[in-house]
C-alpha cells in the first residue's frame, strides 16, 4: 500500500458507497443520529435502480416502481418525504397468448389455458412452494433443516420433478421470469423459498391486487432518492466511482475517482455482483469474495411506448398481457393518472433480454411495438415516443431487477450478504431478509447497516465536521439544479 490514511482528501465518520435507496437511507439515518457522512456515487444521478425520464410529456419509470402491502418502510419513507402513492391501474381484462391463441380474462376470472388442467397444476405448484417455504427462516435460509437439499436444486429441477403440462410449464416459467428476470434454471430453490417466506406467498409476489405491485409513486420512484439526496444538503458526491477501500489502523480510506475519504467506517451498498469490482486492501476473505462471484444480476430490458391516450382501456383491456411469445412476454399499463397520454410498458426478461440486448435499438423497438400490437391492436404502432433501458448495459448495475441467488450460494456465502469485514459494512436490496431485491429491502438494509455502524462505532469515532467544500462542486450544483433524470 503506498498511500497513507492521513493523506485522504477529507474525513467523515462514515462513507457510504452508492446513492441508491439503500445508501441514501443509511446516510439519512446516520446523519440524524449525529454522524458526519459522505455518499460517494458513481453515476451523474441518484436513485440507482430507480430511474425516471420524461418522454413525450410524461414520466416513464425505467427501473423499480411498484410497492405493495407489507412493504411498510418504503411507504413510510415516501410519506415522510412527501412523495405520494396511487393505486396501479387494475380495471379491465388481461390478454393471454398461448400457442398462437389470443384470449382475454377478467382480473378475478380464470386464466384461459388451452388445457384447463394447466390452471390447477399451476395453483398446486405455487401452493407447494408456499408449503416448502414454511420451513425456511427468511433471515437465515441456510439454517433451514434441509438447506443443503433445497440449495442444491434450481427452480427448474424442482419444476421437472412435478408433472406439469406444457401450459402449466409456460406459466410457471413466465412467473419466475417476471419475478427474478432470469430463467428457472438460474435460481436456487432455497433462494426462492426465502423470498416466499419473507413475503407470504409465491403468488403474492407477482399478482397486482394486494400484492407487491399494488401501488406506484407520484412522479416515479426515483423521486424518493432525489428528495433523500436534497435532505443530505450536498453530502452526495456524484460521478465518482469508488475504486479501492483500504483498512488500516482502525479506520478506512475510500478512494474514488473524485475524492479520497477517510472514515471510521464505510457502508458499501452496491449489488453483491458489483462488490467484486472494488479493490479491498486487505483483500476480502473467500466467503465475501465468493459471494460477489456467485450472485449474478438478472437480465431485463424495460420498454415503454407513449400514446396519445391509453387506447386499450376503450376496449376494456387493462394493458396487461401474458404471453409465451416475446420479446415482451409481460406488459402493463404504466400511465400516470394525471396525464392524458397512455404508457404501455413491456419487459424483455432473462435469456430473451440477453439475446435482444445484442440487437440494434431500432430493431428492438420495432419488435416491441409489433408485440404490443398483437396484444392490444394496431393502434399500438402509433406512438408519441419510445424509451427503454437494458439494465445489463448499465455499468453500475450490470443487470436487474436484482442479484439472483444461484444454487449453493446461500449455503456457502449467505452470511456474507450482511456480515461486516472489519470497518466495511454491507447494505443494498439483496442483503435484506425482508423483501430482498425490492425497494423495501433496500430501505430496510440501509436502516440495518446504519444501526450496525452506530452500535459498533459508538464512542470510537470522533465526530468531525464533513468538509464538503473540499470534496465537491459539480455534483452539488447538479443536485441543486435537480439534475437527476437521464436523457
Ligand atoms: C427494471 C427494474 C424493475 C424493478 N421493479 C421493481 C419494483 O417494481 N418494485 C421494487 O420494489 N423493486 C423493483 N426493482 C428493484 C429495485 O429497483 C432495487 O431493489 C432497488 O432500487 C435497489 O436499491 P439499492 O440502493 O439496494 O441498489 P441500487 O439502486 O443499485 O444502488 C446502488 C448504487 O451504487 C452505485 N454504484 C455502483 N458501483 C459503484 C461504485 N463503484 N462506486 C460508487 N457508486 C457505485 C450505483 O450507481 C447505484 O446508484 C426493479 C429493478 C429494475 C432494474
The ligand 1 atom at the shortest distance from the C-alpha of residue 441 is 19
**Structure-block grid coordinates of residue 141:** 435460509
22 Cβ contact partners less than 8 Å away, ≥ 6 residues apart: 269, 427, 428, 429, 431, 442, 443, 445, 446, 449
φ/ψ of 22, rounded to 5, equals -65, -50
The DSSP bridge partners found for residue 246 are 253, 281
Query: For residue 346, which of 373, 326, 328 has the smallest C-alpha distance?
Result: 328
φ/ψ of 10, rounded to 5, equals -155, 170
**Structure-block grid coordinates of residue 70:** 407489507
Residue with cell 391492436: 377
Distance CA(95)–CA(8), nearest Å, equals 58
pLDDT, position 207: 61
Per the domain annotation, does 54 fall within a domain?
A: no
The DSSP bridge partners found for residue 95 are 104, 321
pLDDT, one tens digit per residue, over 422-445 is: 999 999 999 998 999 999 999 999
Q: How confident is the model at residue 214 (pLDDT cuts 50, 70, 90)?
A: confident
259 & 269 share domain: yes
430 Cβ contact partners less than 8 Å away, ≥ 6 residues apart: 271, 272, 295, 402, 403, 417, 436, 437, 441
The ligand 1 atom at the shortest distance from the C-alpha of residue 400 is 53
431 ligand 1 Cβ < 6 A: no
Element (H, E) at 299: none
Side by side, the strands of the sheet bearing 10-11 are: 10-11, 260-263, 251-256, 242-248, 279-281
Per the domain annotation, does 487 fall within a domain?
A: no
Per the domain annotation, does 335 fall within a domain?
A: yes
Alpha-helical (H) ranges within 144-295 are 147-151, 155-160, 166-180, 189-199, 202-206, 222-231, 272-275, 286-294
Q: What is the CATH number of the domain that holds 364?
A: 3.90.660.10
292 & 311 share domain: no
253 Cβ contact partners less than 8 Å away, ≥ 6 residues apart: 3, 5, 8, 244, 245, 246, 260, 261, 262, 263
290 & 410 share domain: yes
50 ligand 1 Cβ < 6 A: yes
pLDDT, one tens digit per residue, over 279-324 is: 999 999 999 999 999 999 999 999 999 999 999 999 999 999 999 9
Q: What is the CATH number of the domain that holds 133?
A: 1.10.405.10
Q: Is the pLDDT assigned to residue 255 strictly greater than 80?
A: yes
Query: For residue 225, which of 16, 469, 10, 460 has the smallest C-alpha distance?
Result: 16
The ligand 1 atom at the shortest distance from the C-alpha of residue 256 is 42
Q: Is the pLDDT assigned to residue 74 strictly greater than 50?
A: yes
Element (H, E) at 302: strand 300-307
Ligand 1 centre from 48 Cα, in Å?
Answer: 4
Q: How confident is the model at residue 477 (pLDDT cuts 50, 70, 90)?
A: very low
27 ligand 1 Cβ < 6 A: no
Per the domain annotation, does 384 fall within a domain?
A: yes
365 & 235 share domain: no
Q: pTM of the predicted model, to two decimals?
A: 0.93
19 ligand 1 Cβ < 6 A: yes
User: Is the C-alpha dihedral spanning 303, 305, 306, 311 positive or negative?
Assistant: negative
282 & 308 share domain: no
Per the domain annotation, does 63 fall within a domain?
A: no
Ligand 1 centre from 104 Cα, in Å?
Answer: 34
φ/ψ of 254, rounded to 5, equals -105, 115
Distance CA(440)–CA(432), nearest Å, equals 9
Specify the pairing of strand 279-281 against strand 14-17: unpaired
252 & 382 share domain: no
Q: Is the pLDDT assigned to residue 462 strictly greater than 50?
A: no
Contact, 427 vs 449, CB < 8 A?
Answer: yes
SS3 344: strand
194 & 122 share domain: yes
Query: For residue 26, which of 452, 486, 346 has the smallest C-alpha distance?
Result: 452
Contact, 106 vs 320, CB < 8 A?
Answer: no
Ligand 1 centre from 90 Cα, in Å?
Answer: 26
Which of 396, 420, 442 lies at the terminal end of a domain, its last residue? 396
Highest averaged pLDDT of the listed ranges 7-16, 335-344, 475-484:
335-344
305 & 332 share domain: yes
Question: Range of 160's domain?
Answer: 112-206
Contact, 327 vs 353, CB < 8 A?
Answer: no
Q: What is the CATH number of the domain that holds 245?
A: 3.50.50.60
391 ligand 1 Cβ < 6 A: yes
Query: For residue 432, which of 423, 442, 424 has the smallest C-alpha distance?
Result: 442
Per the domain annotation, does 213 fall within a domain?
A: no
122 & 157 share domain: yes
pLDDT, position 200: 72
52 ligand 1 Cβ < 6 A: no
pLDDT, position 458: 75
Ligand 1 centre from 46 Cα, in Å?
Answer: 10
Which of 364, 396, 428 lies at the terminal end of a domain, its last residue? 396
Per the domain annotation, does 312 fall within a domain?
A: yes
438 ligand 1 Cβ < 6 A: yes
403 ligand 1 Cβ < 6 A: no
Element (H, E) at 117: helix 117-133
pLDDT, one tens digit per residue, over 126-164 is: 999 999 999 899 999 999 999 999 999 999 999 999 889
pLDDT, position 476: 43
Query: For residue 430, which of 316, 276, 269 has the smallest C-alpha distance?
Result: 269
The ligand 1 atom at the shortest distance from the C-alpha of residue 435 is 11
262 & 118 share domain: no
40 ligand 1 Cβ < 6 A: yes
392 & 305 share domain: yes
Q: Please tell me the total count of domains within the chain.
A: 3
Contact, 243 vs 269, CB < 8 A?
Answer: no
Element (H, E) at 361: helix 361-376
* Terminal-to-terminal C-alpha distance of the chain: 40
Q: Which residue's CA lies nearest to atom 48 of ligand 1?
A: 48
302 & 355 share domain: yes
Specify the pairing of strand 385-390 against strand 330-333: unpaired
Per the domain annotation, does 267 fall within a domain?
A: yes
pLDDT, one tens digit per residue, over 102-130 is: 999 998 888 999 998 999 999 899 999 99
Q: Is the pLDDT assigned to residue 460 strictly greater than 70?
A: no
Q: Which residue's CA lies nearest to atom 19 of ligand 1?
A: 438
Contact, 261 vs 472, CB < 8 A?
Answer: no
193 ligand 1 Cβ < 6 A: no
Which of 366, 396, 426 lies at the terminal end of a domain, its last residue? 396
Q: Which residue's CA lies nearest to atom 14 of ligand 1?
A: 64
pLDDT, position 252: 96
**Angle formed at CA 294 by CA 288 and CA 296, multiple of 5 degrees:** 120
Ligand 1 centre from 3 Cα, in Å?
Answer: 31
Query: For residue 428, which of 49, 39, 140 has the smallest C-alpha distance?
Result: 49
Mean pLDDT of 204-216: 68
Contact, 12 vs 466, CB < 8 A?
Answer: yes
pLDDT, one tens digit per residue, over 28-64 is: 999 999 999 999 999 999 999 999 999 999 999 999 9
Q: How confident is the model at residue 222 (pLDDT cuts 50, 70, 90)?
A: very high
Q: How confident is the model at residue 89 (pLDDT cuts 50, 70, 90)?
A: confident
20 ligand 1 Cβ < 6 A: yes
270 ligand 1 Cβ < 6 A: yes
Counting ligand 1 atoms within 8 A of each CB, the residue from 23, 216, 270, 472 with the most, and so the one to mutate, is 270
Q: Quote the radius of gyration of the chain (alpha carbons, Å).
A: 23
Amino acid at each position: 500500500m503506498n498511500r497513507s490514511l492521513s493523506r485522504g482528501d477529507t474525513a467523515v465518520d462514515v462513507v457510504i458507497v452508492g446513492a441508491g435507496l439503500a445508501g441514501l437511507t443509511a446516510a439519512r439515518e446516520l446523519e440524524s443520529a449525529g454522524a458526519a457522512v459522505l455518499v460517494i456515487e458513481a453515476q451523474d444521478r441518484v436513485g440507482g435502480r430507480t430511474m425516471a425520464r420524461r418522454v413525450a410529456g410524461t414520466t416513464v419509470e425505467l427501473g423499480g416502481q411498484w410497492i405493495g402491502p407489507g412493504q411498510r418502510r418504503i411507504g413510510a419513507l415516501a410519506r415522510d418525504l412527501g412523495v405520494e402513492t396511487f393505486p396501479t391501474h387494475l380495471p379491465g381484462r388481461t390478454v393471454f397468448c398461448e400457442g398462437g391463441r389470443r384470449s382475454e380474462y377478467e382480473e378475478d376470472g380464470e386464466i384461459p389455458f388451452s388445457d384447463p388442467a394447466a390452471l390447477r397444476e399451476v395453483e398446486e405448484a405455487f401452493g407447494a412452494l408456499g408449503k416448502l417455504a414454511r420451513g425456511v427462516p427468511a433471515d437465515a435460509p441456510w439454517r433451514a433443516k434441509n438447506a443443503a437439499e433445497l440449495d442444491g436444486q434450481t427452480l427448474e429441477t424442482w419444476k421437472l420433478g412435478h408433472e406439469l403440462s406444457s401450459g402449466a410449464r409456460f406459466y410457471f416459467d413466465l412467473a419466475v421470469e417476471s419475478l427474478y428476470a432470469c430463467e428457472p434454471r438460474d435460481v436456487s430453490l432455497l433462494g426462492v423459498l426465502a423470498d416466499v417466506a419473507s413475503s407470504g406467498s409465491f403468488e403474492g409476489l407477482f399478482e397486482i391486487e394486494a400484492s407487491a405491485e399494488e401501488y406506484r409513486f407520484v412522479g416515479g420512484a426515483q423521486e424518493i432518492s432525489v428528495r433523500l439526496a436534497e435532505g443530505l444538503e450536498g453530502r452526495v458526491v456524484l460521478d465518482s466511482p469508488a475504486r479501492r477501500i483500504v483498512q488500516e489502523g482502525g479506520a478506512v480510506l475510500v478512494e474514488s475517482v473524485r475524492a479520497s475519504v477517510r472514515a471510521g467506517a464505510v457502508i458499501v451498498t452496491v449489488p453483491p455482483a458489483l462488490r467484486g469490482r472494488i479493490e479491498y486492501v486487505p483483500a476480502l476473505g473467500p466467503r465475501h469474495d465468493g459471494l460477489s462471484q456467485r450472485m449474478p444480476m438478472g437480465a431485463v430490458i424495460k420498454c415503454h411506448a407513449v400514446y396519445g391516450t391509453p387506447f386499450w382501456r376503450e376496449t376494456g383491456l387493462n394493458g396487461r398481457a401474458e404471453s409465451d411469445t416475446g420479446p415482451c412476454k409481460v406488459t402493463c399499463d404504466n400511465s400516470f393518472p394525471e396525464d392524458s397520454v397512455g404508457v404501455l410498458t413491456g419487459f424483455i426478461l432473462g435469456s430473451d433480454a440477453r439475446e435482444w440486448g445484442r440487437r440494434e435499438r431500432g430493431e428492438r423497438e420495432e419488435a416491441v411495438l409489433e408485440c404490443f400490437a398483437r396484444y392490444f391492436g394496431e393502434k399500438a404502432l402509433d406512438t408519441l415516443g419510445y424509451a427503454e433501458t437494458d439494465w445489463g448495459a448499465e455499468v453500475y448495475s450490470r443487470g436487474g431487477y436484482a442479484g439472483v441467488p444461484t444454487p449453493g450460494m446461500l449455503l456457502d456465502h449467505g452470511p456474507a450478504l450482511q456480515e461486516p469485514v472489519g470497518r466495511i459494512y454491507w447494505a443494498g436490496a439483496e442483503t435484506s431478509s425482508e423483501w430482498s431485491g425490492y425497494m423495501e429491502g433496500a430501505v430496510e438494509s440501509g436502516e440495518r447497516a446504519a444501526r450496525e455502524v452506530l452500535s459498533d462505532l459508538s464512542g470510537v469515532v470522533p465526530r468531525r465536521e464533513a468538509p464538503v467544500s473540499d470534496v465537491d462542486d459539480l455534483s452539488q450544483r447538479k443536485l441543486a439544479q435537480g439534475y437527476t433524470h437521464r436523457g
